[in-house]
């Protein structure tokens, strides 16, 4: 009875149900919660303890499980990748210390107005339209010469010579006889006068002959122009024929400034463009004029075209054959600003132009090679046609060092666009490791990075003869430093290198002073190529150009200080 009454109390019943629910919940979920927390803790610990691989930027075969220094070169190791990191397989990683050692610098690609100052070298020339020849109009012997020094000033109408002419004496006699017969033959005197006029006798001279009735034995020659005597052709006592040249006369009141423009400069020069120039003989004075003529034909030997500026020569200070230095400030014909990059950022490989772009958002600096298309060169820069966008960060200093690291790491590079391992067995202290190959295989370089004539082991290996008895081609690509300054040097160096039998490619970079050559090692060596270049006036890594040859180079090509 009491028990039933106890159970029938609704408060007591509710309390029992709540207790029972709590007991059941504890029984079901007591073991599951700790299990879930344990799994989360284990995942976090696994993530924290994920193995980190460390490697060398210059020797990627070195892999260690902790930071330190490379056992080959001593550079600080860099983290290769973490458990979840994503690294571009074609990119090269470099540590901060390696970047400092290589003096690698980068800059952001942007737009600017493409301008260029074209340097021109030339000479003062006389205006060809004002050159005249003073000739004799009658044959005879020069009795007196009143102008007998080259460089003498002559004015129009001045007496310059006196000639004895038997033909002129006969013509005067004919005139006097015609005058006596003019009643019978009225036209005869006029015909005789016309004959004397054709010999450049004036009407006054003819009238004097008629009025005096005497024959003059000599004939006076007067200057038909004013100017400077540039060439003296005769002397007193010489016999001359009709039309013989006595003097060459140049009117120097107007002169030409004639400049030599190379092929690479022609896109920046146009008709009507302003040119400023100075003359070494007139220090402190700057002249200016406009381009009036551009030679339509380029000289095959010098690869230049003539650019002409017409000038008024006030005071005759500008003298023919005087050396002058000109500057043309030009803008690219395209309107607006253009994407430009520094010339130091570009590596040339003959047909290809490449730069190294820094990959954004990476903890360790990474660089990747990219081929680009270049437009014309401007002042210390190139105009970009294709391959880069505004905001890209590119290597502008130390590009060769980044490229060398990419070559050693087997990544795409200037000389190896497809990537792949490249051994440098001939370079001391640069053992690239086994990587599954034996020591003899590692000693065979795919490309010689120095200035030697090749790998000695390769030279000792006998070449197999072809079926026709000829030796097979042994193509080698090498690079060597060659001194020079300008595009003219580039043309000369490449021309001399290609003149060597066996050379198939020669490309010299004006900025880096490095010459890349590809040649048949069975026909020539890098040593022979360097000798030929040195004999043309350019120092190489091994040979110095003869002083007499060097001193004959154009002024813009003189690189020695």
Mean pLDDT of 293-301: 91
End-to-end distance of the chain based on CA atoms, in angstroms?
125
Give me the percent of the chain exceeding a pLDDT of 70. Answer: 78
- CA nearest neighbour of 522 among 475, 455, 452: 475
Region 268-276: mean pLDDT is 90
- Mean pLDDT value across residues 125-154: 88
pLDDT score of 361: 81
pLDDT at 22 over 50: yes
User: Can you tell me the distance from the alpha carbon of 144 to that of 234, in angstroms, rounded to the nearest whole number?
Assistant: 11
Distance separating alpha carbons of residues 34 and 349, to the nearest angstrom: 65
Give the C-alpha separation, 510 to 58, whole Å: 27
d(CA 442, CA 461): 16
Q: Rounded to whole angstroms, how far apart are CA atoms 540 and 91?
A: 33
pLDDT of residue 357: 92
Burial of 364 by CB count in 10 Å (0-12 exposed, 13-18 middle, 19+ buried)? middle
Q: Which residue(s) pair with 366 in the sheet?
A: 93
Which residues have CB under 8 Å from 399's CB, separation 6+?
Answer: 344, 345, 346, 347, 355, 356
Out of 242-256, 322-336, 343-357, 451-465, pick the least confident.
Answer: 451-465
Give 464 or 311, the one with higher predicted confidence: 311
Q: How confident is the model at residue 27 (pLDDT cuts 50, 70, 90)?
A: low
Return mean pLDDT, the chain. 78
Burial 163-176 (b: 16+ CB within 10 A, else e): bbbeebbebbebbb
Tens of pLDDT, residue by residue over 177-206, are 888 887 788 888 888 888 888 877 778 888
Mean predicted confidence (pLDDT) in 504-530? 89
Q: How far apart are CA 440 and CA 496, in angstroms?
A: 36
Please tell me whether residue 407 adopts helix, strand or coil conformation: helix
Rounded to 5 degrees, φ, ψ at 405 are: -65, -40
pLDDT of residue 43: 41
Greatest C-alpha distance within the chain? 191
pLDDT per residue as tens digits for the range 510-520? 888 889 888 88
Q: What is the 3-state secondary structure (H, E, C) of 52-90?
A: CEEECCCCCCCEECCCCECCCCCCECEEEECCCCCCCCC
Write phi, then psi, for 160 (nearest 5 degrees): -120, -20
Three-state DSSP class for residue 277: strand
pLDDT for residue 250 is more than 70: yes
Helices 487-498 + 526-535 axis angle, to 10: 130
| Residues sharing a CB contact under 8 Å with residue 343, sequence separation 6 or more, in sequence order | 377, 380, 381, 382, 510, 511
Which token pair is 73?
A: 């070169």
């Amino acid at each position: 009875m009491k028990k039933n009454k106890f159970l029938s109390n609704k408060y007591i019943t509710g309390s029992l149900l709540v207790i029972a629910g709590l007991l059941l919940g504890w029984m079901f979920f007591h073991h599951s919660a700790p299990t879930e927390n344990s799994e989360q803790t284990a995942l976090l610990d696994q993530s924290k303890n994920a193995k980190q691989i460390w490697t060398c930027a210059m020797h990627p075969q070195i892999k260690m499980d902790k930071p330190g220094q490379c056992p080959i070169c001593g550079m600080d190791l860099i983290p290769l990748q973490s458990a979840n990191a994503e690294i571009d397989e074609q990119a090269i990683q470099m540590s901060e210390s390696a970047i400092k050692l290589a003096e690698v610098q980068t800059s952001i690609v942007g737009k600017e107005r493409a301008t260029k100052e074209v340097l021109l070298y030339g000479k003062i020339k006389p205006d060809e339209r004002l050159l005249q020849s003073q000739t004799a109009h009658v044959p005879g012997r020069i009795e007196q010469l009143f102008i007998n020094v080259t460089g003498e000033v002559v004015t129009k109408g001045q007496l310059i010579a006196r000639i004895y002419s038997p033909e002129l004496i006969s013509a005067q006699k004919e005139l006097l006889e015609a005058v006596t017969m003019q009643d019978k033959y009225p036209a005869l005197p006029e015909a005789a006068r016309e004959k004397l006029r054709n010999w450049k006798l004036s009407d006054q001279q003819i009238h004097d002959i008629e009025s005096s009735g005497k024959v003059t034995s000599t004939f006076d020659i007067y200057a038909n122009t004013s100017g400077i005597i540039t060439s003296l052709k005769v002397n007193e006592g010489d016999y001359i024929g009709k039309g013989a040249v006595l003097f060459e006369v140049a009117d120097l009141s107007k002169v030409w400034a004639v400049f030599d423009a190379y092929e690479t400069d022609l896109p920046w020069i146009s008709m009507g463009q302003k040119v400023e120039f100075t003359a070494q003989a007139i220090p402190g004075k700057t002249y200016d004029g406009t381009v009036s003529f551009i030679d339509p034909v380029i000289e095959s030997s010098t690869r230049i075209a003539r650019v002409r500026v017409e000038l008024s020569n006030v005071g005759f200070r500008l003298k023919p054959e005087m050396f002058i230095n000109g500057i043309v400030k030009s803008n690219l014909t395209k309107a607006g600003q253009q994407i430009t990059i520094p010339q130091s950022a570009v590596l040339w490989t003959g047909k290809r132009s490449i730069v190294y772009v820094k990959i954004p958002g990476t903890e360790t600096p990474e660089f990747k090679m990219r081929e680009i298309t270049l437009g014309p060169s401007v002042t210390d820069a190139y105009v970009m046609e294709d391959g880069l966008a505004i905001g890209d960060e590119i290597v502008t200093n130390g590009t060769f060092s980044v490229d060398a690291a990419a070559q050693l790491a087997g990544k795409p590079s200037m000389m190896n666009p497809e990537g792949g391992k490249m051994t440098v067995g001939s370079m001391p202290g640069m053992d690239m490791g086994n990587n599954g190959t034996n020591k003899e295989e590692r000693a065979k370089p795919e490309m010689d990075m120095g200035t030697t004539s090749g790998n000695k082991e390769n030279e000792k290996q006998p070449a197999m003869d072809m079926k026709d008895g000829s030796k097979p081609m042994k193509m080698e690509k090498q690079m060597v430093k060659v001194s020079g300054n300008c595009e003219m040097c580039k043309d000369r160096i490449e021309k001399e290198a290609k003149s060597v039998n066996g050379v198939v490619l020669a490309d010299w970079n004006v900025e880096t002073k490095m010459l890349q050559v590809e040649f048949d090692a069975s026909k020539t060596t890098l040593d022979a190529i360097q000798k030929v270049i040195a004999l043309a006036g350019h120092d190489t890594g091994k040979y110095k150009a003869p002083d007499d040859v060097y001193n004959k180079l154009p002024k813009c090509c003189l690189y020695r200080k």
